[in-house]
Amino acid sequence: MINQGHISAEVHHGISTITFFHPQSNSMPGDLLRSLAAEITNAGNNENVKVIVLKSEGEKAFCAGASFDELMSITSFDEGRHFFSGFALVINAMRKAPKFILARVQGKAVGGGVGIASAADYAFAHESASVKLSELAVGIGPFVVGPAVERKVGTAAYTSMAINATEWQSASWAREKGLYAEVFPSIDALDQAISSLAEKLSASSPAAMRQLKEVFWSGTEQWDSLLMERAEMSGTLVLSDFTRNAISKFKAGSR
């Protein structure tokens, strides 16, 4: 399953829609993370693109975080650092893209999925899109995605999620904390709202939006190095017997 899944991108009327998919609840192996980061960077550099919409396929899960299959296959620190740096690359690509990124969160988001939603400039969600930072429950910690989540929801909410790692928080809770800008009762309403805002932004001033994005992300200039340092922390912990046993138990059950 590690090598399954895909990333697609298409541009229409100034709107780049980037879609990711993996058969295991849109969990993300390292190759998909790097492909996703590359597509986001390409869209950011494309003069024909005015706004980016980031979404996943399926209905029940937006993104289940790291691929457990790949986590279990890691046998060295270098492999661990390389894997977790994939999430760092995606978050930094989203941060540095000079275009607004709208996220479509149609289902549950776990771990790295919460990080991706947090790194979006504006997140739309379905009411089923509950969130959980499950990393501590498998002996790691939300180190790489932590800065993005904390920036969006604040230190108190981030701390609560990171410590209570087995507890789901509802989409309404995520909206109250600022992770989601809007929450909708139906997929149709969700998609209509995304389409409406994307069309408005595609007709807005590219220079003004670029400068606004720089202002929004001011103070994060050190994230290129910070998130890689955090990837090293996770890369070390994933090799421990505690973590390997915990991941095995999670694989036997559910996220």
Percent with pLDDT over 90 in the chain? 88
Q: Residue 255 pLDDT > 50, yes or no? A: no
Structural domain boundaries in the chain: 6-186
Q: Which tokens is 78 given?
A: 């270098």
Give the tens place of pLDDT for each residue, 85-102.
Answer: 999 999 999 999 999 999
Residue 253: predicted pLDDT = 64
The DSSP secondary-structure symbol of 181 reads: S
State how far the Cα of 14 lies from the Cα of 176, in Å rounded to an integer.
Answer: 31
The fold adopted by the segment(s) 6-186 is: 2-enoyl-CoA Hydratase; Chain A, domain 1 (3.90.226)
Tell me the pLDDT of the chain averaged across its residues: 94
Give the tens place of pLDDT for each residue, 190-246.
Answer: 999 999 999 999 999 999 999 999 999 999 999 999 999 999 999 999 999 999 888
Residue 86: predicted pLDDT = 96
Q: Residue 183 pLDDT > 80, yes or no? A: yes
The count of C-alpha atoms lying within 13 angstroms of the C-alpha of 54, restricted to the half-sphere facing its C-beta, is 28
State how far the Cα of 143 lies from the Cα of 153, in Å rounded to an integer.
Answer: 15
Mean pLDDT of 68-89: 92
State how far the Cα of 31 lies from the Cα of 50, in Å rounded to an integer.
Answer: 27
Residue 250: predicted pLDDT = 72
Mean pLDDT of 48-57: 98
Q: Which tokens is 208 given?
A: 């003004």
Residue 1: predicted pLDDT = 39
The DSSP secondary-structure symbol of 135 reads: G
The pTM of the whole model exceeds 0.75: yes
